[in-house]
Structure 1
Amino acid sequence: MASATSRPVSADELATLDLLYQQVQWLSAWTIHHANNIRPNEDGLKVGGHQASSASLAAIMCALYFKVLNPNDRIAVKPHASPVFHAIQYLLGRQSREQLEQFRALGGAQSYPSRTKDKDDVDFSTGSVGLGAAMTLFASLVQDHLLDKGVLAKEDAGRMISLLGDAELDEGNIYEALIEGYKHGLRNCWWVIDYNRQSLDAITSDRMFTRFHDIFETTGWKVITLKYGKLLQDAFTKPGGEALRAWIDECPNDLYSALTYKGGAAWRARLLADIGKKRGVKALLNGYDDKALGALMTNLGGHDLELLLETFLSIDSDQPHCFICYTVKGRGLPFEGHKDNHAGLMNPSQMADLQDRMNIPAGQEWVPFAGMPDKADALNKYLETVPFNQRSSGRKTAPVLPVPPKESFPCPADKATSTQVAFGKIMNALAKSETALADHIITTSPDVTVSTNLGGWVNQRGIYSREGHTDTFKEQQVLSPQIWQSATTGQHMELGIAENNLFLALAAMGLSGSLFGTRLMPVGTLYDPFINRGLDALNYACYQDSRFMLVATPSGITLAPEGGAHQSIHTPVIGMAQDKLVYFEPAYVDELSAIMRRGFEHMQKTDGDSIYLRLSTRVLEQVERPDDRWEEEMLVGGAYWQEQPEEGAELAIIYTGAVAPEAKAAFDSILEDVPGAGLMAVPSPDQVHKAWSKSIRDLGADNINEPCHIRQLLSRLSPNAKLVTVIDGAPTTLSWLGSVCGHRVMPLGIDRFGQSGSINELYREYRIGTDAIVDACASAFTAR
């Protein structure tokens, strides 16, 4: 309920807001109807649009957008309320009629709010339920980090708000995020739950309400439940009101929904049957006709604008708040309360009835306030003063950070080392540098900071904490190479073991420039196989066009003694398939250094991407680079000849990553039998594949025939040449190379779960060792 410090709006303003709410309800329903029943449909598929889910959240969204939100607030809107969002933006002058007419069509307003695809001002994309809510939590933590660093002024900070459906609370990532928020002292975060008690398939469990309340309070949130609107609250004060309230509190969700659908007469019959003999009840019910009784029984807190505004405007603390707002799914529509209404659509006659009730003239369906022309000017003037409408755009800009040039960028000079160790040394050297890049890097890891070699960085730059904490082990003179000291100035955010949280944190950090005007350069580490555990959140982060560097290490069966549970197989294919993410798997330190340097540059480009580094714990002898054989542009392009073949050569061995020594040993052993053969390093199968695929699309669309990077490299070989590819990962990562110039390919890689053993044992068992490569070279000339 609202607190005693509530600041209710005037009756006139409340009336204005109610008119805006009615228009939003109309426009959201009409937008969906137009897409499904009026716009030409060439393929006959149902367009959809969730009229019921939109209706349940409309009043809440109107209260927020038209009164409560400030320009610096950032909002993640429930996916199925996208039409309401677009309708509100349309009334605010931030969305076009053309976009609404093309809702769910190519180039039009998107099915679910998208910051990369929609043309109106979407702060956070939503769609995969639960992730948008958690995203606001991590965005709030990032905002705190910037506030504590002194690079974001307090007056420029805002609330990170999520509008979510109650069924989203079934998603496990919600609770992982709540725990992480509690650890880090979350603040300035609101979650507003559309508690309509319906999921996609059915009515939700009656027992969950108290559990949600307990979970949020346990993790430090203030929980405010809005169950009864003002009409019901008034009815409870009358004779028979307490009995009515008790009946509602005990009523199962499915019965309440069914009676809502059936209407006032059904309410009356059931209430009289159950509590009609209790004192005052019959008289109370007789005070309402059937229509009024139906309105009374659906006057839940989430639909009462006055109650919503009183509650939202009363909040004066930065404690995270959870508002559980009782609503009716399909509020005001013919199928309100029906358990099957999630994907339901009003038919043309039902839509005509709604249009008639709202007094919208035919042909003026898209005209704002067409049903109330005498009020249009006043409503438009009010919208001009709405606080949220004062922001020019939710998108801020941040200057590009200079990246040290090649000469001064760290590149460890060890003669033998692993890419994982080299990564740690590069980060340690960056931490010691006095550069803008280092000052804007923020690292994070799900409890594997030390084992992924971020320890040196943390020792130099510290752990971020709002409260600060000294390293007790150091104070107690207990020797440890790790200085685990936290402060508000720290540049590492330590997370618990939850990969969903890692990717959502990286997503929020990588949008820092756009959200808050200060660019961060996020670097996140995890064990490579556990990318799978957070894959939905990784995809979500990339869909936002967030920019970060993901360092996954160790990888493959090369992590030999750890066994199959820690040995990744198909992550290279994930890296290649994931949009807005560029996958690299360097074998050598100089490759890694160049890729990281260029990666930090690429992350900041308008058309840039996030970077995924798949690293290894295997120690390799580093190669010496003759100047005429080392071209960095070829490296970042994805491939280069480590040993260049003669023109017209009949064989090439092509490798990626930690199997470099085996590939080189096999190459040396076949030279006598196949003179002139080549050895190609492919540090990024992703880059070469993207360029090759683009060349094919361009040829088909524009008849452009410019050879791509990998075609130029392979063109040195004979048209009848054979390729042997090898990677500690899925063989499909490289097997496609045969399609570039029509060469026969013998692909070696891992296509079954690993197991414990030594590197040599496992390489022999899984056929990616030197002998297997040599055998594949021989078979390439004899296989049919």
Structure 2
Amino acid sequence: MPTLPLPLAADTPVQHSRAETVELLTQIEQRLRWLSSWMIHNANTLREKRDGLKVGGHQASCASMTAIMAALYFHALRPQDKVAVKPHAGPVLHAIHYLLDEQTREKMERFRGLGGVQSYPSRTKDSIPVDFSTGSVGLGVAVTAFSSLVQDYLIAHGQMREEQSGRMIALMGDAELDEGNIYECLIEGYKHDLRNCWWVVDYNRQSLDATTADRMFRRFDDIFETCGWRVVTLKHGKLQRAAFKRPGGKALEDWIETCPNADFAALTYLGGAAWRERLMHDIGKKRGVADLLGSFDDAELARLMTNLGGHCIETLLDAFDSMDDERPTLLIAYTVKGYGLPLAGHKDNHSGMMNTGQIESLRDDLAIAPGEEWGKWSGLGDNLAATLQAFVDSSPIARKQAEHAAPAIPLPDRLPVPEGAEQSTQAAFGKVLHDLAKSSEPLADRLVTTAPDVTQTTNLGAFVNQRGLFRRQELADVFQRVKIPSAQKWSAHRAGQHIELGIAENNFFLALAALGLAAPHFGTRLMPVGTVYDPFIARGLDALNYGCYQDSRFLLVGTPSGITLAGEGGAHQSINTPLIGMGQPGLESFEPAFADEVALMMCWAFRHMQADGGSSVYLRLTTRVIEQVARDSSAWEEDAIAGAYWLREPAGPAEAAIAFCGAVAPEAMAAWEALSDDIPGLGLLAVTSPDRLHRDWSAQRAARWTGKAQGPSHIERLLGALGPDAGLVTVLDGSPSALSWLGGVHGHRVSPLGTDRFGQTGDLPDLYRTYRLDNEAIIDAMADLLLQRG
């Protein structure tokens, strides 16, 4: 071990030689391995279990990453870089921030407990700096590519400087390379000339259930190189490379190159004697091999054979230092799962843990005294501990600033309502955006739209004509240049504000998530607006949930929706998306029926996306053109934002009401006209957000049990105008359960209409009649309710 310099005053930078840096990082790597292992052991073995359930954690998955993360965080990482950490290495990330004095012992002692360190790194739940939440396999990898694209967008628009740009880095296990969304992302990255992105693979060749297929050797390299990535493979550490240069070394190198993954794992677990026996059997008669192997005792031989590139600090530093350009890079670091632990290489080690005797033996090997397990540098002596702390404190990552507090974008008090006696909500949405695009509003310059190859059919075309496609290199519109008439005049340039994506909804939602994190990540707020066919929200639901979980802010527009998309048939007709809107945390959903509702809700959404405690917003729209309603005043607007308003006030206590949502407004209004003379005081309730109504009602109910009950919820106030025996017919083009719960508010009898089976092709009269969404169905349902009342 080199002689390390004593620490100087805190404000005096310490210069270390390469050898000193390697030794210090080696010590840090061992400490990260210990702290992550102890954190998991404490949660599963020492901490009281009141429910009898396994707490969990991944000691082996942490151990295979500690050298990579030590070299990255305390050497290669710059303050402007951002990292998505392999989910199962979350405890290592917390150990790193513990060494940086940004994590507390108390939270680590509560690992996977209430208020403690989360199972996987979380932007919204953990107290340490977390750039990207990870946990849903693969998504924390792909989002870094889109974050790099967002960074390029901001630079091109003059909203950040080139010299402020950082690398977007993903640390992943090799099993994540089985995730299809990674390859969808690769294709999109190639289209947009991806740069400043590193993906570092912990290539331990073990997943939860099995070892990695041997046939994948060199396939990952081929795939990534084809998409323009540089591939750096770190298979051998310094000790192995030195051994390969000795007599017999070439035979040893060739044997390692062809050793099956499962064999390598099993031999690692069995140890030095097993390595020797196998090597002597396979290559012992080759020239120089016996002498080479004989120069190592069993412990040294085991160390040599597991000295892979991903565990060799010097090899990692050389690799990181060489990657000094903008080219996207896949770094494949060969590792051993469970490296340095007694369960290294065992095929069951993914969820396996060291027993008490094993972890106490590891503690003793590190000279950590019983009771000192949580000490940052226990067992290392005061001088070395001080040197290590000074090294950690002077690392570039220690100077990383807290996330940015981006200033709010000024908004108009109102957005103009598109003119037209008859309109669809989808068309109204497009007109509002187009009017903004032509305006000088500050909001207009911060809008960025995106769609998965449905820009035209979701009414974004006028906005794109006005503001252009985003490309770092200008791309001419060939059709426009040769004067072929087209409604699309989509010039592509650095000032463009629309990011066109291919047909991959997972990419779409990850792009929205990255755009919606521009404020905390880069200090510049964007207003992302993404459109997708409403039924295909389900294709990217995992990525949508991922974006909401890390509090990304965007406006999602699902359109067209329901069986109202008549000619497209069942595969294109959404049924359960109202329930997705109701059930998805971090997402406020609306289903407007009229153009003025669209303008109102879009304005509210842009305000809510910037608010403390705000969220993303989802609008479910339709292509159905309907007659607009005349308004006497704006008194309805506050109720509409809260989730519902009386389009026709009931005369109370009313005997009945019709509650409708979205596209079926004409049928509900026609049924009301037909019934109003026969049912005194009949009300007509326009439900604009089942989501906000239900959330408000549920919160009010829950508050009663905590002693914090306030006034009645919005829906309780509205339905309070009905008599206690009143009947309620609910109708929407979607799952009837999105509105049927209204009967539970005051105990009213409900007849819910909606769609709960796949649609089919047809025109609207046929489909609405077949699926009982027409005015006759509403009238029949009301008659049944009144008959039940007697």
- On whether the aligned pair clears a TM of 0.5, the verdict is yes
Aligned partner of 1:4 in structure 2 is none
Once the two structures are superposed, residues 197-238 of structure 1 have per-residue CA deviations (whole angstroms, 9 ceiling, x without a partner) of 011111010111311001110111000000000000001001
The answer (yes or no) to whether the contact 1:21–1:59 under 8 Å persists in 2 is yes
Once the two structures are superposed, residues 258-290 of structure 1 have per-residue CA deviations (whole angstroms, 9 ceiling, x without a partner) of 000000000000011111111111111001000
1:774 aligns with 2:779: yes
The answer (yes or no) to whether the contact 1:551–1:615 under 8 Å persists in 2 is yes
1:85 aligns with 2:100: no
Aligned partner of 2:577 in structure 1 is 571
The answer (yes or no) to whether the contact 1:9–1:306 under 8 Å persists in 2 is no
1:724 aligns with 2:732: no
The answer (yes or no) to whether the contact 1:8–1:306 under 8 Å persists in 2 is no
Q: Distance in 1 between matches of 2:275 and 2:570?
A: 60
Aligned partner of 1:423 in structure 2 is 429
Q: Given residue 720 of structure 1, which amino acid in structure 2 is its aligned partner?
A: D
Aligned partner of 1:699 in structure 2 is 704
SS of alignment partner, residue 632 of structure 1 = helix
Aligned partner of 1:391 in structure 2 is 400
Aligned-residue offset at 1:410: 2.5
Aligned partner of 1:715 in structure 2 is 720
SS of alignment partner, residue 522 of structure 1 = strand
Aligned-residue offset at 1:705: 4.4
In the TM superposition, what are the counterparts of 1:282-681 in structure 2 within 5 Å?
282-374=290-382, 375-393=384-402, 395-406=403-414, 409-627=415-633, 630-681=635-686
Q: Could you tell which deviates more after superposition, 774-783 or 229-238?
A: 774-783
Aligned-residue offset at 1:14: 1.2
Once the two structures are superposed, residues 487-515 of structure 1 have per-residue CA deviations (whole angstroms, 9 ceiling, x without a partner) of 01100000000000000000000000100
* Aligned length, in residue pairs: 774
Q: Gapped runs of 5+ residues in structure 1?
A: 1-6
Rate the CA distance shift 1:8–1:502 in 2: closer, same or farther, 3 A: farther
Q: Distance in 2 between matches of 1:747 and 1:670?
A: 17
Q: Could you tell which deviates more after superposition, 36-45 or 510-519?
A: 36-45
1:743 aligns with 2:748: yes
Aligned-residue offset at 1:783: 4.0
Q: CA RMSD in A?
A: 1.1
Aligned-residue offset at 1:782: 2.7
Aligned-residue offset at 1:686: 0.5
1:95 aligns with 2:103: yes
Of 156, 177, 185, 1:177 maps to 185
SS of alignment partner, residue 40 of structure 2 = helix
The answer (yes or no) to whether the contact 1:9–1:310 under 8 Å persists in 2 is no
The answer (yes or no) to whether the contact 1:410–1:430 under 8 Å persists in 2 is no
Rate the CA distance shift 1:447–1:145 in 2: closer, same or farther, 3 A: same
Q: Distance in 1 between matches of 2:652 and 2:38?
A: 66
Once the two structures are superposed, residues 698-752 of structure 1 have per-residue CA deviations (whole angstroms, 9 ceiling, x without a partner) of 0111251420101000001001111100000000000000111111110000000
Aligned-residue offset at 1:86: 0.4
The answer (yes or no) to whether the contact 1:114–1:122 under 8 Å persists in 2 is yes
SS of alignment partner, residue 192 of structure 1 = strand
Q: Given residue 385 of structure 1, which amino acid in structure 2 is its aligned partner?
A: S
The answer (yes or no) to whether the contact 1:412–1:426 under 8 Å persists in 2 is yes
Q: Distance in 2 between matches of 1:9 and 1:594?
A: 63
Q: Distance in 2 between matches of 1:239 and 1:142?
A: 52
The answer (yes or no) to whether the contact 1:557–1:754 under 8 Å persists in 2 is yes
SS of alignment partner, residue 486 of structure 2 = coil
Of 211, 217, 228, 2:219 maps to 211
Q: Distance in 2 between matches of 1:636 and 1:705?
A: 20
SS of alignment partner, residue 627 of structure 1 = coil
Q: Could you tell which deviates more after superposition, 370-379 or 239-248?
A: 370-379
Q: Given residue 389 of structure 2, which amino acid in structure 1 is its aligned partner?
A: N
Q: Distance in 2 between matches of 1:291 and 1:523?
A: 59
1:759 aligns with 2:767: no
In the TM superposition, what are the counterparts of 1:256-295 in structure 2 within 5 Å?
256-295=264-303
Q: Given residue 778 of structure 1, which amino acid in structure 2 is its aligned partner?
A: A
TM-score, with length taken from structure 2: 0.97
SS of alignment partner, residue 558 of structure 1 = coil
Aligned-residue offset at 1:8: 11
Aligned partner of 1:163 in structure 2 is 171
Q: Distance in 2 between matches of 1:85 and 1:189?
A: 20
% identity of equivalent residues? 58
The answer (yes or no) to whether the contact 1:420–1:616 under 8 Å persists in 2 is yes
The answer (yes or no) to whether the contact 1:462–1:486 under 8 Å persists in 2 is yes
Aligned-residue offset at 1:452: 0.4
Aligned-residue offset at 1:631: 2.2
Q: Given residue 156 of structure 2, which amino acid in structure 1 is its aligned partner?
A: D
Q: Distance in 2 between matches of 1:365 and 1:271?
A: 38
Q: Distance in 2 between matches of 1:57 and 1:528?
A: 40
Once the two structures are superposed, residues 82-115 of structure 1 have per-residue CA deviations (whole angstroms, 9 ceiling, x without a partner) of 0100001100111111111111001111100000
The answer (yes or no) to whether the contact 1:542–1:580 under 8 Å persists in 2 is yes
Q: Gapped runs of 5+ residues in structure 2?
A: 1-14
Aligned-residue offset at 1:373: 2.2
Q: Distance in 2 between matches of 1:581 and 1:101?
A: 32
Q: Given residue 401 of structure 2, which amino acid in structure 1 is its aligned partner?
A: S
SS of alignment partner, residue 729 of structure 2 = strand
Runs of 4+ deviating beyond 6 Å: none
1:255 aligns with 2:266: no
1:112 aligns with 2:111: no
Q: Given residue 37 of structure 1, which amino acid in structure 2 is its aligned partner?
A: T
Q: Distance in 2 between matches of 1:361 and 1:417?
A: 75
Aligned partner of 1:3 in structure 2 is none
Q: Distance in 2 between matches of 1:249 and 1:782?
A: 81
SS of alignment partner, residue 322 of structure 1 = strand
Q: Given residue 594 of structure 2, which amino acid in structure 1 is its aligned partner?
A: Y
Aligned-residue offset at 1:672: 2.0
Aligned-residue offset at 1:155: 2.2
SS of alignment partner, residue 254 of structure 2 = helix
1:21 aligns with 2:49: no
Q: Distance in 2 between matches of 1:31 and 1:184?
A: 42
Once the two structures are superposed, residues 313-357 of structure 1 have per-residue CA deviations (whole angstroms, 9 ceiling, x without a partner) of 122210001000000000011110011100011111111111111
Aligned-residue offset at 1:649: 0.4
Q: Could you tell which deviates more after superposition, 160-169 or 208-217?
A: 208-217
SS of alignment partner, residue 172 of structure 2 = strand
Q: Distance in 1 between matches of 2:585 and 2:75?
A: 38
Q: Distance in 1 between matches of 2:454 and 2:140?
A: 25
SS of alignment partner, residue 168 of structure 1 = helix
Q: Distance in 1 between matches of 2:20 and 2:538?
A: 54
TM-score, with length taken from structure 1: 0.98
Q: Distance in 2 between matches of 1:54 and 1:23?
A: 12
1:131 aligns with 2:139: yes
Aligned partner of 2:8 in structure 1 is none
1:69 aligns with 2:77: yes
Q: Given residue 729 of structure 1, which amino acid in structure 2 is its aligned partner?
A: G
Q: Given residue 731 of structure 2, which amino acid in structure 1 is its aligned partner?
A: V
